[in-house]
A and B are shown apart, each in its own frame.
Chain A
Amino acid sequence: MNCGVRRWANQMETLVSGRNYTIAHRFDKALRLIRNALVESELTVAGEFDASGLLEHDGRKAERSRILLIDSPLLDFEALALDRAAGVFLPLHLLVSADGELTQAFAANPVALFDGRLPLGAAGPMGRLGARVALALESVLLEDHTNRRQPEDEG
C-alpha cells in the first residue's frame, strides 16, 4: 500500500471507529479543560481509571493516561428504556494520555467498532452521546485556538 493510500485508510479508520484529538497543553491542564467542557455540555464523568503505562505514542510509553467514563443520565435512561443490554456500551470511554508537551484524547465510537445489531432503542441515544462528547472536545480545541490568536489580533 503506498503512503497516501495508507494515510487515507488510517484517516477513514479513525473516522469510523473513533476520533483522536490533540490538545496543545500538558496532561493536567488538558484534563482540567476536558472536564470543564464536559460539564458545560451537561455530561458527567461517572467514573475513571488510571491507564498509565498502557499506551505508546511514537514508540514512547505515555507516562500518564486516564480513561474517563462519560455519560448523561437522560441519555442513559433513553438508551436503557427498551433493552438493558445497551448498558454494555455505556458510559462512553474517553482515553486521555500525555504525549510530551501535548495531550491526546481518543473517544472510541463503540457503535462503529461492533458489527452486530445494537440493542433496541440504543442507537439514537448512543449516537447523541458520542456527538456531545465530540462537541465538548472540539470546544476545548476551539477555545485554545481562540486564546492563541487573541494576542496577535490585539497586537
Chain B
Amino acid sequence: MSDEEATITYMVREPFEQAVRSLRKALSDGNLELAGELDISSRIRQKLLVDTAPCRVFFVTAAPGVFEKPGADPYAAALTPLHVVISARGSQTEVHLLRPFSAQKQPMAPPTLAAFRRLQIRVVEAVERIGMRCRFGA
C-alpha cells in the first residue's frame, strides 16, 4: 500500500449548511449531477442516539451527455456514483474526495478507468472553486 493518503481534503471557509449550498452549485456549474445524498450524522443520531457533527455524502455522476457511459466493467458501477463527503469542522467545512488512481493502479479496463478519472477530475475542479486543499499525503 502506498504512503499517500487514499483521500484528499479541501477546507471551505463557510459554515456547514452554506458550504453544502456552495458545493451543490459548484457541482452543477461543473455539469455534474447529484444522484443522491446521505445524511450520515442524522442516521447515526436516529439509530444510535449519538450526536455527531454534521456529515453528508453526495453521490455524484456526470450530467448526461458529458461522458460516455462507464461500459461493461462492474467496477465502474461499483465505484460510481462517486462519493463526496462534506463535514462540519467548527465554523468551517471539510470536503473529502477520493484521490485519483495512480498510473500503476489499474483496477478497471482502460476505457472505464479513463471515464472514471475524467469524472474525478471534474469533481476536483468543482470543489477547488469553493475550497482550498488542506491535507497532503505523506
Contacts and interface: CB of A to CB of B under 8 A. Distances in A.
A136 interface: no
B38 interface: yes
A84 B46 CA distance: 19
A126 B75 CA distance: 18
Interface string A46-80: 11010101111000000001010101011011001
Interface residues of A, number: 42
Interface in B1-17: 1-7, 9
B101 to A, nearest CB: 8
Contacts of B55: 80, 84, 87
Interface stretch (B23-31, B66-74, B124-132): B66-74
A121 B104 CA distance: 26
A77 B48 contact: yes
A47 B59 CA distance: 10
Given A84-B94, A87-B57, A113 B48 contact: no
Chain A interface, >50% SS class: mixed
Contacts of B98: 88, 114
Contact of B35 (A46, A49, A95, A108): A49
Given A73-B43, A85-B7, A88-B7, A67 B57 contact: no
B87 A116 contact: no
Given A49-B35, A54-B76, A95-B74, A116 B57 contact: no
Contact of A108 (B59, B78, B97, B137): B78
Contacts of B107: 17, 113
A107 to B, nearest CB: 8
Given A49-B59, A65-B77, A73-B47, A119 B69 contact: no
Given A87-B55, A88-B7, A115-B104, 4 more contacts: A47-B59, A54-B77, A91-B38, A95-B77
